[in-house]
């Protein structure tokens, strides 16, 4: 089932999740051996009354990148993210951070880890209703008992980065959902932690605000290079922000890797079904469809590898035959033919199966 | 009579029964030795069994032995409880002294300030002032002040004891399971029943006697609502606090208690109202204040005296309720809009 594919490249692994299991029930350890024998979720529930939350999870979270964990409700994604800062205790497995197993940390070390290295953004914002926006933003330094003047300055800075200047003295209930979540993000950034856990952070917001929040996050990430673990049930959102995508189903990893690669090479019928509904022109990037060699033929123009196919089609003005040079930071890295572009818009399996008929 | 005599003789217990007979008082009825018809068989209660078998105690022996038992432990209870509760007497005495000996023209503006600060409403302040003027004009002022000072001391103590107890209850299910039956009992036991053992333990002239009765009766809502309030704090907010590494202490003082505050204040409001109810009844055990006038009205059938005191109590109840409720409302507004 597991296909750890490509593009792990040279980036450092910040957190490494190894053989993680979580079983909910009266005696979780007793079910563990059966899981190793490969029994499925429904069977376990019928036979033992235990619910499998996570089933043998192995994920490497890369430093400075956005790892998106995607799955439908009940897939165990929220359970998984809560293991990283141990809001939920696992049944078995390990989570390595700097070579140390987080799951073995004593209480005081764990608290220190949460205070200094991990911040979290929640689906329902979870702001303190009796504190002002500024006080909410200062939560992490306040918990660490840091100097008030300095942390207030920092909180004001981050509030202005999320465009909330002037709202410092408002109470959370006076703000809209999108603004409350921006306070949530400012609170996470003020903690200065290198890890940011985002649990369905934008799911409670309406679509337009969600898009602008995604842009805000990508914007911030360009400067900050935090290690972000982002949970979502929305594939479009996942594809937009993910450097590394992990697809969960019923508590196990169905496929993980570069999101572009997953769209082009779904390893499983479940993933295929998932990706069938997306707007491929908007999601696929020129860089993932191009041929990585320079062409000798005459090119009609050049395009950046990060642009979407939609943008290329727009640039080509509907032309179906031309060839474009693909550049990365003004250096040519490959070329792309328009015919390739149109082929990539259709699911590969679909075309082959039709042909077979 | 003697419905169960045959049963005892059947089991060969006649001898044991007879040993319980002290002096054989032979009544005319027992000589007749009537048979009991089957439809007249009574329930084998203690008294009925005693008739058949003198060794079995009567019901009145049960109540008598309860009393004896209580009298037996009374000296030791006294030695323990007396010093512990002595501060209560001092507090009540000094509060009574303070409230009744401060001249009215100092207390009146002080009340105005206090009410205005806590309720922030000119309407309520004006109402309170006119009530106090009513007390002054009808010469009920000193009685009302006595009642108020007792309520003041008892409510403060209820909060000081009740809030930490409620916090303990919210933190541990075991503590909750142990305390709930006690709280249920305190709440349902008729108020007069508290007074009886307290009269046995303390001298009737001691203020702590009625102080304790009021606190025991009025402390329940503040404990219950503190427990409830803390348990109802949004789980998501608690999770966020944990995710940022708050210690248990930080969690309690920065998140749980402030967010439970509306519920705790609702409990305080209830506690104030219940102290007022009890302070009237406590006039039976020498609690001063408006209650004594009511008692006078009942004892001497003085309708007018009782009625006026009754109105005084109602006004006091309205004042305390409105002031504490508007403080609560103001708090809710800042939190939840």
Nearest beta carbon to residue B245 from set A128, A143, A171? A143
Residues of B with CB under 8 A from a CB of A: 234, 236-237, 239-247, 250, 254-255, 258-259, 261, 334-337
Distances (CA, A) of B316 to A67, B52, B127, B130, B285: 64, 58, 11, 12, 21
Coil, strand or helix at B119: helix
pLDDT at residue B336, rounded to an integer = 61
Tens digits of per-residue pLDDT, B153-198?
999 999 999 999 999 999 999 999 999 999 999 988 888 887 888 8
Which is nearest to A88 in space by CA: A36, A29, A23?
A23
pLDDT at residue B23, rounded to an integer = 56
Contacts of A145 in chain B (CB under 8 A): none
Which is nearest to B161 in space by CA: B188, B140, B173, B179?
B179
**Preferred mutation among B234, B241, B245 to probe A, highest tally of A CBs within 10 A:** B245
Q: What is the chain A residue with the closest CA to B337?
A: A173
Rounded to an integer, the average pLDDT of B254-280 is 92
Which is nearest to A335 in space by CA: A304, A298, A295, A296?
A295
pLDDT at residue A30, rounded to an integer = 82
DSSP bridge partners of A244: A67
CB contact under 8 A, A139 and B244: yes
Contacts of A111 in chain B (CB under 8 A): 245, 247
CB contact under 8 A, A122 and B335: no
Assign B28 a pLDDT band (cuts: 50, 70, 90): low
Would you call A137 an interface residue with chain B, using a CB distance cutoff of 8 Å?
no
Tokens linked to A98:
């700097």
Rounded to an integer, the average pLDDT of A233-255 is 90
The secondary structure of chain A in percent helix, strand, coil, rounded to multiples of 5, reads 40, 25, 35
DSSP bridge partners of A338: none
Q: Which of A103-117, A119-133, A261-275, B106-120 has the lowest mean pLDDT?
A: A261-275
Tens digits of per-residue pLDDT, A296-321?
777 888 888 888 888 888 888 878 88
User: Which residue in the block uniquely carries the two structure tokens 């957190």?
Assistant: A15
pLDDT at A355 over 70: no
Assign B286 a pLDDT band (cuts: 50, 70, 90): confident
Q: Which of A6-15, A75-84, A193-202, A210-219 has the lowest mean pLDDT?
A: A6-15
Rounded to an integer, the average pLDDT of A228-234 is 93
pLDDT at residue A11, rounded to an integer = 60
CB contact under 8 A, B236 and A126: yes
Rounded to an integer, the average pLDDT of B255-273 is 93
pLDDT at residue A357, rounded to an integer = 38
Q: Which of A161-165, A191-195, B14-18 has the lowest mean pLDDT?
A: B14-18
Tell me how far apart the terminal alpha carbons of chain B are, to the nearest angstrom: 75
Rounded to an integer, the average pLDDT of A112-135 is 93
pLDDT at residue B71, rounded to an integer = 87
CB contact under 8 A, B239 and A197: no
pLDDT at A356 over 50: no
Instruction: Give percent of chain B with pLDDT exceeding 70.
Output: 93
Q: What is the chain A residue with the closest CA to B240?
A: A126
pLDDT at A159 over 90: yes
Q: Which A residues in the span 95-134 are in contact with B, Cβ-Cβ below 8 Å? A: 110-116, 118-120, 122, 124, 126-130
Contacts of A110 in chain B (CB under 8 A): 245
pLDDT at residue B27, rounded to an integer = 55
Mean pLDDT estimate for chain B: 88
State the Cα–Cα distance between residues A89 and A79, nearest whole angstrom: 10
Assign B268 a pLDDT band (cuts: 50, 70, 90): very high
Tens digits of per-residue pLDDT, A30-53?
888 777 776 777 787 888 888 888
pLDDT at B17 over 80: no
pLDDT at residue B316, rounded to an integer = 93
Contacts of B254 in chain A (CB under 8 A): 128, 142
Q: What is the chain A residue with the closest CA to B246?
A: A143
Nearest beta carbon to residue B240 from set A116, A118, A126? A126
Q: Which fold has domain B67-336?
A: MetI-like fold (1.10.3720)
Torsion of CA A143, A146, A151, A155, to 10 degrees: -10
Nearest beta carbon to residue B246 from set A116, A118, A143? A143
Nearest beta carbon to residue A173 from set B239, B255, B337? B337
Assign A25 a pLDDT band (cuts: 50, 70, 90): confident
Query: Do A257 and A7 form a contact (C-beta atoms < 8 A)?
Result: yes
Task: Quote the pTM value.
Answer: 0.81
pLDDT at residue B9, rounded to an integer = 80
Query: Do B293 and B251 form a contact (C-beta atoms < 8 A)?
Result: no
CB contact under 8 A, B243 and A129: no
Q: Which of A49-58, A183-192, A275-284, B273-282 has the lowest mean pLDDT?
A: A275-284
Assign B29 a pLDDT band (cuts: 50, 70, 90): low
Size of interface A-B (CB pairs under 8 A): 65
More confident residue, A156 or B46: A156
Q: Describe the strand order of the beta sheet including A100-101 as a list of residue ranges.
A: A51-62, A13-24, A92-97, A100-101
Per-domain residue ranges for chain B? Answer: 2-57, 67-336
pLDDT at B201 over 60: yes
pLDDT at residue A6, rounded to an integer = 40
- Three-state SS string over B40-68 comes to HCCCCCHHHHHHHCCCCCCHHHHHHHHHH
Q: CA of B258, closest CA in chain A: separation in Å?
A: 7
State the Cα–Cα distance between residues B288 and B277, nearest whole angstrom: 14
**Preferred mutation among A125, A126, A174 to probe B, highest tally of B CBs within 10 A:** A126
State the alpha helices, DSSP H only, in A227-268.
235-241, 259-264
CB contact under 8 A, A197 and B243: yes
């Amino acid at each position: 089932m597991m296909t750890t594919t490509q593009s792990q490249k040279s980036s450092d692994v910040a957190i490494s999740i190894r053989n993680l299991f979580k079983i909910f029930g009266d005696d979780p350890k007793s079910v563990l051996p059966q899981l190793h024998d490969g029994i499925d979720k429904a069977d376990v529930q019928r036979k033992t009354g235990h619910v499998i939350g996570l089933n043998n999870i192995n994920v490497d979270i890369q430093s400075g990148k956005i790892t998106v964990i995607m799955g439908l409700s009940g897939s165990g994604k929220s359970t998984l993210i809560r293991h990283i800062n141990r809001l939920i205790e696992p049944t078995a497995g390990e989570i390595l951070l700097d070579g140390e197993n987080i799951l073995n940390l004593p209480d005081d070390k764990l608290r220190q880890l949460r205070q200094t290295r991990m911040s979290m953004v929640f689906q329902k914002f979870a702001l303190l209703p009796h504190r002002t926006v500024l006080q909410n933003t200062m939560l992490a330094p306040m918990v660490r008992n840091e100097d008030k003047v300095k942390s207030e300055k920092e909180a004001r800075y981050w509030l202005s980065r999320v465009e909330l200047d002037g709202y410092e003295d408002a109470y959370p209930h006076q703000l809209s959902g999108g603004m409350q979540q921006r306070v949530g993000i400012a609170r996470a950034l003020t903690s200065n932690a290198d890890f940011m856990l985002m649990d369905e952070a934008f799911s409670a917001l309406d679509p337009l605000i969600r898009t602008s929040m995604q842009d805000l996050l990508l914007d911030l990430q360009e400067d900050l290079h935090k290690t972000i673990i982002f949970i979502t049930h929305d594939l479009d959102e996942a594809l937009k922000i993910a450097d590394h995508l992990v697809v969960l189903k019923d508590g196990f990893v169905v496929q993980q890797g570069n999101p572009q690669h997953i769209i082009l090479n779904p390893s499983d019928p479940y993933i295929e079904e998932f990706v069938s509904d997306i707007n491929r022109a908007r999601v696929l990037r020129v860089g993932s469809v191009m041929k990585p060699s320079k062409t000798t033929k005459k090119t009609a123009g050049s395009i950046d590898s990060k642009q979407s196919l939609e943008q290329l089609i727009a640039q080509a003005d509907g032309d179906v035959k031309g060839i474009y040079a693909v550049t990365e930071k003004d250096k040519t890295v490959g070329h792309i033919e328009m015919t390739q572009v149109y082929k990539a818009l259709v699911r590969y399996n679909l075309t082959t199966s039709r042909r077979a008929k | 009579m003697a419905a169960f005599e045959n049963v005892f003789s059947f089991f060969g217990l006649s001898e044991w029964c007879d040993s319980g007979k002290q002096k054989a008082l032979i009544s005319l009825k027992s000589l007749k030795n009537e048979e009991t018809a089957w439809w007249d068989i009574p329930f084998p209660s203690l008294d009925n069994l005693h008739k058949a078998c003198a060794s079995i105690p009567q019901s009145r022996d049960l109540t008598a032995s309860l009393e004896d038992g209580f009298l037996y432990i009374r000296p030791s209870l006294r030695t323990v409880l007396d010093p512990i509760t002595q501060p209560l007497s001092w507090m009540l005495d000094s509060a009574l002294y303070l409230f009744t000996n401060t001249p009215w023209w100092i207390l009146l503006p002080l009340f105005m300030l206090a009410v205005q600060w806590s309720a922030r409403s000119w309407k309520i302040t004006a109402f309170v002032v006119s009530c106090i003027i009513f007390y002054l004009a009808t010469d009920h002022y000193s009685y009302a002040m006595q009642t108020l000072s007792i309520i003041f001391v008892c409510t403060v103590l209820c909060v000081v004891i009740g809030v930490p107890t409620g916090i303990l209850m919210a933190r541990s299910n075991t503590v909750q399971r142990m305390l709930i039956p006690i709280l249920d009992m305190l709440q349902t036991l008729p108020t007069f029943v508290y007074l009886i053992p307290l009269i046995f333990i303390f001298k009737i002239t001691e203020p702590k006697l009625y102080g304790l009765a009021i606190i025991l009766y009025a402390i329940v809502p503040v404990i219950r609502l503190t427990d409830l309030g803390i348990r109802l704090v949004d789980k998501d907010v608690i999770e966020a606090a944990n995710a940022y590494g708050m210690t248990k202490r930080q969690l309690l003082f920065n998140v749980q208690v402030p967010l439970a505050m509306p519920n705790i204040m609702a409990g305080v409001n209830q506690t104030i109202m219940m102290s007022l109810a009890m302070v009237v009844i406590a006039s039976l055990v020498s609690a001063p204040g408006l209650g004594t006038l009511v008692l006078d009205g009942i004892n001497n059938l003085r309708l007018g005296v009782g009625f006026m005191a009754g109105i005084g109590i109602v006004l006091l109840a309205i004042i305390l309720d409105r002031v504490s409720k508007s403080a609560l409302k103001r708090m809710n507004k800042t939190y939840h809009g």
